[in-house]
Amino acid sequence: MKEQFHDRHDAGRFLADQLMEYADRDDVLVLALPRGGVPVAFEVAQALNVPLDVFVVRKLGVPGHEELAMGAIASGGTRVLNRDVVLGAGIGTETLDQIAAREREELRRREQAYRDNRPEPEIDGQTVILVDDGLATGATMWAAVVALRQLDPAQIIVAVPTASPETCAAFEQEVDRVICFITPEAFGGVGRWYRDFAQTTDEQVRDLLCQATQS
């Protein structure tokens, strides 16, 4: 088993090897969860010779512990909550709504920044490969899956370089296929499995989407 990826592009190339049966098909679309999922998905889409786009999702972090996801929101107004985390952290409805409203503004800003007047991709009847740089709680990916179902894809495939075994197994009950390249028992967070886990910037996202469109 691979012990660690060099960076997100390296991870994407390894992930693409697991997805080559979807190459050169006109009914396949790779959707990245920005920002960290975009470099991974770029390599997947390039290797498969299929279109790349983004599906914007925002995590709802617990106040004071923002890395701990209590839920997420996605394009189209979908909101997914982890009730156990919400109750365990004692988060009230008013606080939850305030956090969701703030993240909704950021979601709209990112959609506008990344899409740059390009039309949204056609989802109906497509096999959609949803890509992120890894899954910890999986809240962000859950929101994406729930939102995508409303757009009637033929299949939803969740593909990530690394995930906790429990989260990866949970998705197997909800989507058509799950590919998790590394599923270590002692997971310890997504960043642990990358030597370079620097934050992906908006500019990098735009550049990669532009490259994908031109290729």
pLDDT in tens, 139-178: 888 889 988 888 899 999 999 999 999 999 999 999 999 9
| pLDDT grade for 130, boundaries at 50, 70 and 90 | very high
Indicate if 59-113 has the same CATH topology as 8-56+123-214: no
Could you tell me the residue ranges of all domains in the chain? 8-56+123-214, 59-113
What is residue 105's predicted lDDT score, i.e. its pLDDT?
A: 93
Residue 105 phi, psi dihedral angles, 5° rounding? -65, -45
CA atoms within 13 A on the CB side of 160: 29
Which residue from 74, 60, 59, 71 is spatially nearest to 147, judged by alpha carbons? 74
Per the structure block, which two tokens stand in for 31?
Answer: 């959707």
What is residue 132's predicted lDDT score, i.e. its pLDDT?
A: 97
CATH number of 59-113: 3.30.1310
What is residue 1's predicted lDDT score, i.e. its pLDDT?
A: 58
Distance CA 211, CA 46 (A): 10
DSSP 8-state assignment for residue 75: T
Percent of all residues in the chain with a pLDDT value above 70, rounded to a whole number? 99
Q: Given a cut of 80, is residue 116 above it in pLDDT?
A: no
Which residue from 213, 173, 179, 176 is spatially nearest to 11, judged by alpha carbons? 179
What is residue 33's predicted lDDT score, i.e. its pLDDT?
A: 95
- List, in sequence order, every residue forming a beta bridge with 158; answer none if it has no partner: 130, 178
Average pLDDT rounded to a whole number, residues 116-132: 90
String of DSSP letters for 94-160? HHHHHHHHHHHHHHHHHHHHHHTTPPPPP-TT-EEEEE-S-BSS-HHHHHHHHHHHTT--SEEEEEE
| pLDDT grade for 199, boundaries at 50, 70 and 90 | very high
What is residue 68's predicted lDDT score, i.e. its pLDDT?
A: 80
Choice between 15 and 139, residue whose per-residue pLDDT is larger: 15
Lowest mean pLDDT among 93-97, 124-128, 144-148, 188-192: 144-148
Distance CA 85, CA 60 (A): 11
What residue type is assigned to position 153 of the chain? Answer: P
What residue type is assigned to position 177 of the chain? Answer: R
- CATH match of 8-56+123-214 with 3.40.50.2020: yes
Q: Given a cut of 80, is residue 48 above it in pLDDT?
A: yes
